Amino acid sequence: MTNSLDILTINTIRTLAADVVRKANSGHPGAPMGCAPLAHILFSRFITANPANPKWPNRDRFVLSNGHACALQYILLHILGYDLTMDDLKQFRQTDSKTPGHPESHLTPGIEVSTGPLGQGFSNAVGMAIAQAHFAATFNKPCYDLFTNYTYVINGDGCLQEGVASEAASLAGHLKLGNLIVIYDDNYVTIDGNTNLSFTEDVLKRFESYGWHTQYIADGDNDLEEIAAAIERAKKVTDKPSIIKIKTIIGIGSKHQGSEKVHGSPLAPDDIVEVKKKYGFDPEQFFHVPNEVYEYCKHFRERGAKAEAEWNQLLEKYCTEYPELGSEIKRRFSNKLPDNWIDHLPRYTPSDPPVATRKSSETVLNKIADVLPELIGGSADLTPSNLTRWKTATEFQPESGGLGNYSGRYLRFGVREHGMAAALNGLASYGGIIPFGASFLNFISYGLGAVRLSALSCFRAIYIMTHDSIGLGEDGPTHQPIETAASLRALPNLLFLRPADGNEVSGAYLAAIQNIERPSVIALSRQNVPNLEGSSVEKTLKGGYVLKEADGAQIILVGTGTEVSIAVDAANLLEKDCIKARVVSLPSFELFEEQSLEYRLS
């Protein structure tokens, strides 16, 4: 039941949010103040995680999809005992701090995913829920429930207006992901003003049509027990994801509460004084956390440490009874690849017939899928064109539909390119999974918001994009990726790989799978290309290499992807005119730029 320490903790979060944003002179104080009750209930009573080991595999995942409330997450991490000090809070929004202006998973312990752009975190959470369902179906055994975690999300009105969230929500409903619980902070305010300006739909009816379990709480500012009861009810619904719409007052306690004035700007100093008085805090004290709050939050750390210790013991017993499966769990969560998996990559000679590189990609997947069980993914409704389903694949589907089961590794993302890309980030963040998604290269533009976050977050997500180049033919300009390669090459920490033939396709997969801290886009052709003399799986890892040498070369022809064979043909024509031409294949600018200056000049 609610006690005085619950109230004190909630009010501490509210006053601390006002101070944190005021010192930064930038940010969003209103949402953290309004979300404080529901966030406190969620962490104090439901979320199990261990601040001493933020990467424990069976921790509950928490995603703050509403990046505008990032001060809330930093405050929670601090008072709950994560590696985030008060000095870190005071550096909110400063360059190179652990508390940037929006949550970033690679900077702050306890942050699962980078969620600045609205809707992305919601969609990442769908990927996390898929991952948990898959691990549970693959590894859990009688008396060994190793993977039982929930994925919890707090999001606001803005997240639910983004198309990416709609795509992901539709997919989650279809997949019946009962381990996903979304708390919708409904405060009727966006930056422009009241949501009646642009957002008047019935959100719960929409989610009900997606196949979600829905609930509504009218007083999220005070009714803590109803918040807890709603989460309990959501956990009991195992065949549907849940969304709980909770009415809150943004910036509660401020003289501008309930308006956009508390959304995107710090509270004025005199307003903060009144807020602190209202909640029983000394206006002359700043960044104050009462000792009672720190003590009260110890139970979160103790609960998490105890849960992890029990889980570790269970895993060791599991390893005794199921040694192969146990070693597989440990291998996958330590980011180690199976021994000798590289030996399964196909290799080609010029005597092999010409083939489209998308077909070579299909061959790679068929060769490595069974020896690389962490490889999980699918296509955005283009499986027959992308050729991404391997022969032994089982569909990831709810068993009730008769189409597959959660131990399956092939995902049908539907026509949801953006939702697919964002879900890949969630899958990657969960751990133990190498996710891939596929579409036409031109349609990666639909998902670039999520691809950018793959790169920013250092997630190994693989984008298998076919129908590269104008050579795809009759589909015309709407399908031809003219500017796409340039935009992807401009994206930091992304590998853009354009293989020229079968060997380079194998090399592209080798590069993508071995690079554990960056995503890759593999651009593949629809049209046939020859297997080139001089091409190599290993040389592909250099990003660029001499494919065809000519002593005393007078000109160097450089090509990527499907144009390399054209460069070879051009070199042969030039030789007939006594012009010696060297041909260089450049499958990846990024990998090439990482080589030594001596190698690049050679």
As annotated, the active-site residues are: 417
Q: Which residues contact 6 (CB under 8 A, 6 or more apart)?
A: 40, 41, 44, 224
Please report which helix (H) or strand (E) contains residue 372, including its range. Answer: none
Positive or negative CA dihedral for 547, 548, 550, 551? Answer: positive
Taking a C-beta distance cutoff of 8 angstroms, is the pair 538, 478 a contact?
Answer: no
What's the rounded Cα separation, in Å, for the pair 14 and 29? 8
Strand order in the sheet with 581-585: 545-548, 581-585, 555-559
String of DSSP letters for 185-196: EE-SEETTEEGG
What's the rounded Cα separation, in Å, for the pair 33 and 254? 9
Both tokens assigned to 189: 């305010």
String of DSSP letters for 4-72: HHHHHHHHHHHHHHHHHHHHHT-S--HHHHHHHHHHHHIIIII----TT-TT-TTSPEEEE--GGGHHH
Helix%, strand%, coil% for the chain, nearest 5:
45, 15, 40
Distances (CA, A) of 313 to 59, 310, 317, 335: 15, 5, 6, 21
Strand order in the sheet with 180-186: 61-64, 151-156, 180-186, 242-247, 213-217
Taking a C-beta distance cutoff of 8 angstroms, is the pair 465, 136 a contact?
Answer: no
Q: Which residue in 500, 429, 487 sits closest to 459, CA to CA?
A: 429
- List strand residue ranges (DSSP E) for 290-409, in order: 355-356, 375-379
What's the rounded Cα separation, in Å, for the pair 215 and 154? 14
What's the rounded Cα separation, in Å, for the pair 386 and 377? 12
What's the rounded Cα separation, in Å, for the pair 573 and 239? 64
What's the rounded Cα separation, in Å, for the pair 326 and 286? 49
Q: By CB neighbour count within 10 A (0-12 exposed, 13-18 middle, 19+ buried), where does 238 fall?
A: exposed
What's the rounded Cα separation, in Å, for the pair 557 and 585? 9
What's the rounded Cα separation, in Å, for the pair 348 and 167? 40
